[in-house]
């Protein structure tokens, strides 16, 4: 049956957080010092009602996927793989980080999350989590979804939202 209006469902839970370290680069030659945030995630999916269960998407499944995606980058140093100003090199169990060719940090490799982004801004993290969620949804054959919206907050009242139409 065709219904007027649209539905979307959101999840934001105490465990949809990741406490991680990062630093970002700015235009020109400025680079932040290493610091951390208690990042918080809210995800919204939009779509048609499932004809048998009368929901857009199963909350339990959505929460489980998002929890895993957050856990993967929790308690890590988030490092960008696609930032031309940041050079990463492996040295045994260590990861050396240089900024514009100058040595800056050395981290234990196991404590780092190397992310396919240009900068670890909340915008890029929101986009990355959206892509990861999308491939999880594709893998389980989720149907009827029309959009994903991902909000990543790095501080109270300071967040970015990425929206992807499917
Ligand atoms: Zn920051």
The rounded Å distance from CA 129 to ligand 1 centre is 17
From 32, 75, 82, 100, active-site residue:
75
From 46, 127, 151, 154, active-site residue:
154
Q: pLDDT of 29-41, one tens digit each? A: 999 999 999 999 9
The rounded Å distance from CA 119 to ligand 1 centre is 11
The rounded Å distance from CA 79 to ligand 1 centre is 12
pTM above 0.85?
A: yes
Q: Which of 157, 164, 165 is nearest to 40 (CA)?
A: 157
Q: What is the mean pLDDT of residues 104-128?
A: 98
Q: pLDDT of 31-76, one tens digit each? A: 999 999 999 999 999 999 988 999 999 999 999 999 999 999 999 9
The rounded Å distance from CA 120 to ligand 1 centre is 8
Any catalytic annotation for residue 29? no
The rounded Å distance from CA 156 to ligand 1 centre is 12
The rounded Å distance from CA 124 to ligand 1 centre is 12
pLDDT at 2 over 70: no
- Cα–Cα distance between 58 and 83 in angstroms, integer? 36
List, as one string, the DSSP characters of 41-107.
Answer: EEEEEEEPPPTTT-SSS-HHHHHHHHHHHHHHHTTSEEEESS-TTEEEEEETTEEEEEETTEEEEEE
Q: pLDDT-based confidence at 164, cuts 50/70/90?
A: very high
Any catalytic annotation for residue 70? no
The rounded Å distance from CA 50 to ligand 1 centre is 39
Q: What DSSP element (H or E) covers 151?
A: strand 145-155
Distance of CA 156 to the CA centre of its chain: 17
Any catalytic annotation for residue 151? no
């Amino acid at each position: 049956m065709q219904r007027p209006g649209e539905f979307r469902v959101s999840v934001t839970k105490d465990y949809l957080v990741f406490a991680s370290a990062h630093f970002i680069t700015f235009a020109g030659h400025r680079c932040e010092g290493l610091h951390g945030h208690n990042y918080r995630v809210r995800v919204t999916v939009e779509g048609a009602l499932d004809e048998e269960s009368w929901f857009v998407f199963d909350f339990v499944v959505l929460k489980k996927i998002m929890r895993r995606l957050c856990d993967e980058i929790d308690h890590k140093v988030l490092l960008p793989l696609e930032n031309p100003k940041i050079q990463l090199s492996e040295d045994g169990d260590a990861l050396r980080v240089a900024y514009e060719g100058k040595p800056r940090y050395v981290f234990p490799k196991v404590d780092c999350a190397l992310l396919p982004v240009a900068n670890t801004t909340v915008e890029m993290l929101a986009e990355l989590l959206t892509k990861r969620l999308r491939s999880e949804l594709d893998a389980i054959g989720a149907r009827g979804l029309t959009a994903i919206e991902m909000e990543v907050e790095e501080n109270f009242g300071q967040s970015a939202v990425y929206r992807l139409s499917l």
